[in-house]
Structure 1
Amino acid sequence: MSMWNQLVTLLRGSAHEAGQSVVDKRALVILDQQIRDAQAAQGKARDDLATLTARRRLIEKDLDALTAQRGKYEASARAAMQRGDMDLAREVAERLASIESEQATKTPQIADMRGAEDRIRGIIKQSDGKIQALAREVEVVRANESVQKAQASVAASYGGTISSMGSAADSLKRIKEQQAIRDEKFRASAELEDMRTGADLDAKLRSAGLLEGSSSADDILRRLSGPQDGGEATRLPGAEPRALPRE
């Protein structure tokens, strides 16, 4: 195969592939249009069936009229023959022959038309079922397509989301560490300040009741249980009188 033929084949293959790709991407749109076209064809078939039924009913009415005429003319021919008027009887007989010929033509037409109506009605019913099944299948495919697009979107963003979450978690960990360091720095600074001013030592002395102006809970209870207004002191259970220093 020459190079030119290979290039032509490649172009044809590429065009087919591109066209197939376009068709695949727009498959649901194409199917929707095909369903609409089929429904329109079904509507035309129903209209044709209605027309055929109407014509058949008109022929049946004509046949009923011919049957009524045949009965009337048969009675007239018999009456003419009874009167001996054979010319009139022949004329009526000729009319009867025409009616019977027309009846013989229209009777099979009605049967054929009824058969055609039944066939068309069956085809319409079958086509309706196929169209409905195709429409339901298209809806299922459309729903699956929507779900898969959503899944693809989630999958595409999943990696970036996980990476972002990891970065955020690392940032949160660093912030907590920085806050913990600042808390320790504040605590250490306060301790150094207490040591510099002696506040830590004062706190220890105050807790031991050795700092002037400080009283423990027991001291307060003893004071309250001492003599009031020259009366005898009320001794609380478990509270011993505190020895006063000598002058």
Structure 2
Amino acid sequence: MSIWNQLVTLIRGTAHEAGQAAVDKRALVILDQQIRDAHTAQGKARDDLATLTAKRRLIEKELDGLTAQRDKYEASARAAMGRGDMDLAREVAERLAAIEAEGATKGPQIAEMRSAEDRIRSIIKQSDGKIQALSREVEVVRANESVQKAQASVAASYGGTISSMGSAADSLKRIKEQQAIRDEKFRASAELEDMRTGADLDNRLRDAGLLEGSSSADDILARLAGPRDGGDATRLPRDTETRALPRE
């Protein structure tokens, strides 16, 4: 196969797939229209059946009329023959022959019309059953389509919720990291400020009990455990002293 033929075949196949996809996408709409068309055809078939039945009944009435005429003319022919009027009897007999010939054509016609009515009636009944079955299937498919659309909507909403929750969790994690960084920056700034002013060194000297005017807990315990005498130099000074008032 040449390249050109292959390209033509590819285009035809692609067009077929595109057309089939379009048909499948609108399948329910197409089926609904086909069901409406089928109902229209059924209505026409019923109308045709009614017309055929009406025509058959008219022919049956004509045949009944011919039968009544035949009975009447047979009686008249017998009467003419009884009176010996053979010419009149022959004339009546000729009329009877025409009536019987006409009746002979109407009998088969009526039978054929009845057979056609039965066939049409059977076709209408079968078509009604097929249309009803197709309508039920369409309703089932439409219900399934609605359920699946609802499921797809719920799934999409759930997926969006999960995605939003994931984004929110990521944002929360970033906020916590930013807060931790700010806390460390605050502590680092405070440490740098203490180092600049010497406060950090003073705190370490004070904790070691080496800063003048500071006493550690061990120093205080050692002082309290020492001898108590009047010359205790470690006694705290009184807040107030008794002073002599000057005389006026």
TM-score by length of 2: 0.66
Deviation at 1:39, TM superposition (A): 0.8
Do residues 73 (structure 1) and 87 (structure 2) align?
Answer: no
In 1: Cα distance, 2:144 partner to 2:125 partner: 29
State how 1:147-166 maps to structure 2 within 5 Å.
Answer: 147-165=147-165
Matching of residues 10-21 of structure 1 within 5 Å: 10-21=10-21
What's the CA shift for 1:79?
0.6
The separation in 2 between residues aligned to 1:97 and 1:153, in whole angstroms, is 83
Write the distance in 2 (CA, Å) between the matches of 1:4 and 1:112.
Answer: 59
Q: What residue identity is the alignment partner of 1:116?
A: A
Q: Aligned partners of 2:172 and 2:7: how far apart in 1?
A: 60
Tell me the alpha carbon deviations over residues 41-82 of structure 1, each in whole angstroms, 9 at most, x when there is no partner.
111100110000000000000011001101100010011011
Q: Distance in 2 between matches of 1:32 and 1:73?
A: 61
**Counterparts of residues 47-196 of structure 1 (less than 5 Å):** 47-165=47-165
Deviation of the 1:165 alpha carbon = 3.8
Distance in 1 between residues matched to 2:80 and 2:172, nearest whole Å: 121
Structure 2: any 5+ residue segments left out of the alignment? 180-248
Q: What residue number does 1:40 align with? A: 40
Which residue number in structure 1 is paired with residue 188 of structure 2?
A: none
- Shift in Å, 1:171: 8.1
Distance 1:140 1:27 in 2: 13
The SS at the match of 1:110 is: helix
In structure 2, C-alpha distance between the alignment counterparts of 1:8 and 1:163, rounded to whole Å? 46
Find the counterpart in structure 2 of residue 5 from structure 1: 5
Residue 168 of structure 1 deviates from its aligned partner by 5.6
* CA apart distance, 1:85: 0.6
Instruction: Please tell me the residue identity of whatever aligns with 1:158.
Output: Y
Q: What is the distance in 1 between the residues matched to 2:60 and 2:4?
A: 70
Provide the secondary structure at the position in 1 that maps to 2:142.
helix
State the one-letter code of the partner of 2:107. Answer: T
Shift of 1:157: 2.8
The whole-number CA distance in structure 1 between the counterparts of 2:2 and 2:166 is 58
Work out the CA distance in 2 between the residues paired with 1:123 and 1:54. 19
In the TM superposition, residue 160 of structure 1 has moved relative to its aligned partner by 1.6
Q: Among the aligned pairs, what percent are the same residue?
A: 88
Q: Which structure 1 segments of 5+ residues have no match?
A: 179-247
Residue correspondence of structure 1 range 19-34 to structure 2 within 5 A: 19-34=19-34
How many Å apart are 1:16 and its aligned residue? Answer: 0.6
How many angstroms does 1:114 deviate by? Answer: 1.1
SS across alignment from 1:87:
helix
Q: Distance in 1 between matches of 2:163 and 2:30?
A: 41
> What is the aligned partner in structure 1 of residue 229 from structure 2?
none
Return structure 1 stretches of 4+ with deviation > 6 angstroms: 169-175
